[in-house]
Amino acid sequence: MVNYKMVLAYDGTRYNGWQKQGNTKDTIQGKLEGVLGKLEGKEVEVVGAGRTDAGVHALGQVANVKLEVKISEGELMQYVNQYLPEDIAVISVEKVPLRFHSRLNAVEKTYLYRIYQSEIPDPFKRKYTTTITEELDIEKMRQAASFLVGEFDFKSFCSLKKYKKSTVRTIYSIRIEEVEREIRISIRGDGFLYHMVRIIVGTLIEVGTGGKSVEEMKQILDKKDRQAAGSTASAQGLFLKEVRYEM
């Protein structure tokens, strides 16, 4: 048996997220397991590093699968890309130790959120950005974001009312850049809670439009209450950019 690590890119527009579900076949995990199951001749389990939500995209999702069939990395990548839908691609494959687990061994993840600033929606950006018609104050958004860098209890930025495990996470950096009419927010951390990135972005947008002050960000953290934070930004602007490991 060989454990294969795969890096995937996908357009999440028409999928109900990464994780396989009993009520739908339209998941990234389900599509990948279907293709690999035919190769293996039996059901296989593909483990993903991040359970991206419905409509969320990936530039560098990582997954691993254990196979008994004898096949090289190059042959495996060619096979899966031949049979996967056109909006999912495996961009690299490598053999890794059997103990490697794409989710449990991940030490760092980076998410990218894209905002399109325009009074007129761009039909060619609608699947991959969130359109904001108001002028955003980028400097205030950067100042507010600085309060979130470090190790904190991010309970205010989690959609789950009851979370059995710790809600403490570490954010290493938040970068906010302007590229023409796009505002790109990159958030790098050791892990993220359910909807955490989208709630952070939604709150930063409210700071950018003047709905919240810069100083409120620290108060939101301290309250540990989801109601204190801003709205959850829409899914289509979010990309899982990169997952890092210490191997």
63 near 243, Cβ under 8 Å? no
Tokens 């959850």 appear where?
Answer: 232
Q: pLDDT of the chain along its 247 residues, tens only?
A: 999 999 999 999 999 999 988 778 899 999 999 999 999 999 999 999 999 999 999 999 999 999 999 999 999 999 999 999 999 999 999 999 999 999 999 999 999 999 999 999 899 999 999 999 999 999 999 999 999 999 999 999 999 887 778 999 999 999 999 998 999 999 999 999 999 999 999 999 999 999 999 999 999 999 999 999 999 999 999 999 999 998 6
φ and ψ at residue 21, rounded to 5 degrees: -130, 150
Spatial CB neighbours of 72, under 8 Å, sequence gap ≥ 6: none
Return the axis-axis angle of helices 28-40 and 73-83, rounded to nearest 10°: 120
C-alpha 109/C-alpha 200 separation (Å) is 15
pTM of the model: 0.95
Tell me, yes or no, if 137 is annotated catalytic.
no
Q: List, in order of start, the domains of the chain with CATH numbers.
A: 2-96 (3.30.70.580), 107-245 (3.30.70.660)
* Catalytic-labelled residue, pool 26, 53, 122, 137: 53
Q: How far apart are CA 79 and CA 140, in angstroms?
A: 48
